[in-house]
């Protein structure tokens, strides 16, 4: 971190409008709490985030943001632009939080508060109602302070971060969206705490399905059994020499198929995931998995009704990292130094995976407070003490709007050095 970077943050934090923004965050913690409770009550299952997205559009409008709209993928978007910017090509800083939870639509989602604790209990209350309420709080603080940023801030309550959503909200923003060539940096608000994800944990997810004619367990004995064939394939996959450096992991999360104990099943399927912090082990594992599942049915291809195998990709999260010399990371460190916070850099799987893989400076950051039992019905969030984390995000966001030329150069340099030009 250079002295000039630290001086820039010190000067920025001393500005009267920034103090007004901090003041709003201090006075309006009850309002942020209320927003969080309201959005938790709105189900946002995978591929069913529309109601919560509409809630965000309403609140974006009430705050006086501009160009409030729902894009083709279902992301709720709004802008805060410089007063003198009338172009549609100027640089954009993306501030986002994902709308979706891991819970199905019929999951009871009324939050529970207890008199003897500041904890809030409810599915999705931390992941990611904490991030979403932080997104709205930052927008409100900026509007209250009448801050005119030097670059456009794009607020996005985006879809498709969890599971089989496969980052579809981010894929659209950096793919078919008119913003794709304008975004020079991305900050994703993710859950509780103050950790910052700058290394994107990559993953490949597959549904493996083996089908056969099926039949009676006695009269059709000898007919290829998809469950047994799938079991052989999974055993062979688990015996692959996955590297320990970089650590690469395998998980089989679900197996299904068959109808009864005395029936040869006509199909069997499994959901499989590989994770790694680097791309090469993922590509190697994908090649071996495809080879194994194909080889599983080779001994039976001469049968009148041979079994078939289908390997369907249901998730592809690219591995990447924010360069150590990125201006975005320097700004974060300077903000943390100013606020006397420790910079905790971590590896994780977030919406930041997508822009990082494209060479766009990005990170995911916690919005303060504490949480636990994530992705379970016992999930909880405690917002106590989150004000300092929100101040940090506000200051980092404003600092980022001041360095769009450097960030744009980083993205251009990454492209010229061979970083991915298309959506993974």
Query: Rounded mean pLDDT of the chain?
Result: 95
- Model confidence over 98-133: pLDDT tens digits? 999 999 999 999 999 988 899 999 999 999 999 999
- Model confidence over 48-99: pLDDT tens digits? 999 999 999 999 999 999 999 999 999 999 999 998 665 677 899 999 999 9
User: The tokens of 92 are what?
Assistant: 């954009």
> Which DSSP state fits 247?
B
Write down the pLDDT at residue 420: 47
What's the CA gap between 215 and 319, in Å, rounded?
44
- Taking a C-beta distance cutoff of 8 angstroms, is the pair 111, 120 a contact? yes
Per DSSP, the three-state class of 159 is coil
The mean pLDDT value for 4-17 works out to 94
Backbone angles phi, psi at 215, to 5 degrees: 155, -170
One of 3.40.50.920, 3.40.50.300, 3.20.20.70, 3.30.70.360 is the CATH number of 202-317, namely 3.30.70.360
Task: Quote the pTM value.
Answer: 0.92
Kindly give the pairing relationship between strand 92-98 and strand 152-158.
parallel
Residue with the larger pLDDT of the pair 303 and 3: 303
In the chain, % of residues over pLDDT 90: 92
The mean pLDDT value for 166-173 works out to 97
- Taking a C-beta distance cutoff of 8 angstroms, is the pair 140, 24 a contact? yes
Domain with CATH 3.40.630.10 in the chain: 3-200+319-416
- Taking a C-beta distance cutoff of 8 angstroms, is the pair 122, 186 a contact? no
User: DSSP per residue over 106-122, as a string?
Assistant: TS----EE-TT-S-EES
Write down the pLDDT at residue 115: 87
Sole residue written with tokens 């008199």: 115
- Taking a C-beta distance cutoff of 8 angstroms, is the pair 9, 332 a contact? no
Residue with the larger pLDDT of the pair 89 and 197: 197
User: The tokens of 412 are what?
Assistant: 């251009």
Of the CA atoms within 13 Å of residue 58, those in its CB half-sphere come to 9
What's the CA gap between 311 and 309, in Å, rounded?
7
- Taking a C-beta distance cutoff of 8 angstroms, is the pair 217, 262 a contact? yes
Of the CA atoms within 13 Å of residue 335, those in its CB half-sphere come to 24
Longest pairwise C-alpha distance within the chain: 84
Write down the pLDDT at residue 314: 94
> Which DSSP state fits 165?
G
- Model confidence over 355-393: pLDDT tens digits? 999 999 999 999 999 999 999 999 999 999 999 999 999
- Model confidence over 210-252: pLDDT tens digits? 999 999 999 999 999 999 999 999 999 999 999 999 999 999 9
As a whole number of Å, the end-to-end CA separation of the chain is: 32
- Taking a C-beta distance cutoff of 8 angstroms, is the pair 67, 79 a contact? yes
What's the CA gap between 209 and 145, in Å, rounded?
56
What does each C-alpha distance from 337 to 138, 147, 190, 332 come to in angstroms? 21, 23, 22, 9
Domain with CATH 3.30.70.360 in the chain: 202-317
The total of other beta-carbon atoms located within 10 Å of residue 412's CB is 12
The mean pLDDT value for 30-45 works out to 97
User: The tokens of 245 are what?
Assistant: 């450096």
Write down the pLDDT at residue 116: 87
Look at residue 421 and tell me whether its pLDDT is greater than 50: no
Q: Which CATH architecture has domain 3-200+319-416?
A: 3-Layer(aba) Sandwich (3.40)
The residues with which 256 forms a beta bridge, in sequence order, are 269
């Amino acid at each position: 971190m250079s002295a000039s970077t630290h001086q820039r943050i010190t000067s920025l934090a001393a500005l009267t409008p920034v103090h007004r923004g901090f003041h709003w965050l201090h006075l309006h913690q009850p309002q942020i709490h209320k927003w969080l409770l309201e959005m938790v009550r709105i189900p946002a299952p995978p591929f069913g985030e529309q109601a919560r997205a509409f809630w965000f559009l309403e609140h974006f409008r009430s705050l006086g943001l501009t160009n409030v709209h729902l894009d083709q993928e279902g992301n709720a978007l709004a802008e805060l632009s410089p007063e003198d910017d009338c172009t549609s090509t100027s640089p954009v800083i993306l501030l986002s939080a994902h709308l979706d939870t891991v819970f199905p639509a019929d999951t009871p989602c009324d939050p529970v508060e207890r008199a003897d604790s500041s904890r809030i209990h409810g599915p999705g209350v931390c992941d990611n109602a904490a991030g979403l309420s932080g997104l709205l709080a930052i927008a409100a603080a900026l509007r209250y302070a009448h801050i005119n940023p030097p670059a456009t801030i794009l607020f996005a309550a985006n879809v498709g971060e969890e599971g089989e959503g496969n980052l579809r909200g981010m894929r659209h923003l950096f793919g078919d969206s008119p913003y794709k060539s304008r975004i020079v940096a991305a900050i994703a608000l993710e859950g509780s705490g103050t950790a910052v994800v700058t290394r994107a944990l990559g993953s490949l997810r597959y549904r493996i399905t083996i089908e056969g004619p099926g039949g009676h367990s006695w009269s059709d004995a000898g007919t290829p059994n998809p469950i047994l064939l799938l079991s052989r394939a999974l055993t062979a996959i688990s015996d692959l020499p996955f590297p320990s450096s970089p650590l690469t992991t395998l998980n089989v999360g679900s197996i299904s198929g068959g109808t009864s104990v005395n029936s040869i099943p006509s199909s069997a399927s499994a959901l499989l995931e590989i994770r790694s912090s680097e791309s090469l082990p993922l590509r190697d594992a994908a090649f071996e998995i495809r080879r194994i599942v194909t080889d599983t049915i080779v001994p039976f291809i001469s049968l009148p009704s041979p079994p078939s195998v289908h390997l369907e990709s249901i998730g592809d999260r690219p591995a990447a990292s924010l360069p150590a010399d990125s201006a975005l990371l320097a700004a974060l460190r300077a903000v943390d130094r100013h606020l006397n916070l420790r910079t905790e850099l971590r590896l994780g799987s977030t919406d930041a995976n997508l822009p990082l893989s494209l060479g766009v400076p990005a990170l995911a950051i916690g919005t303060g407070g504490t949480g636990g039992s994530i992705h379970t019905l016992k999930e909880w969030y405690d917002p106590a003490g989150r004000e300092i984390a929100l101040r940090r995000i506000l200051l980092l966001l404003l600092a980022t709007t001041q360095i769009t030329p450097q960030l744009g150069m980083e993205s251009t340099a990454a492209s010229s050095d061979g970083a991915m030009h298309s959506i993974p």
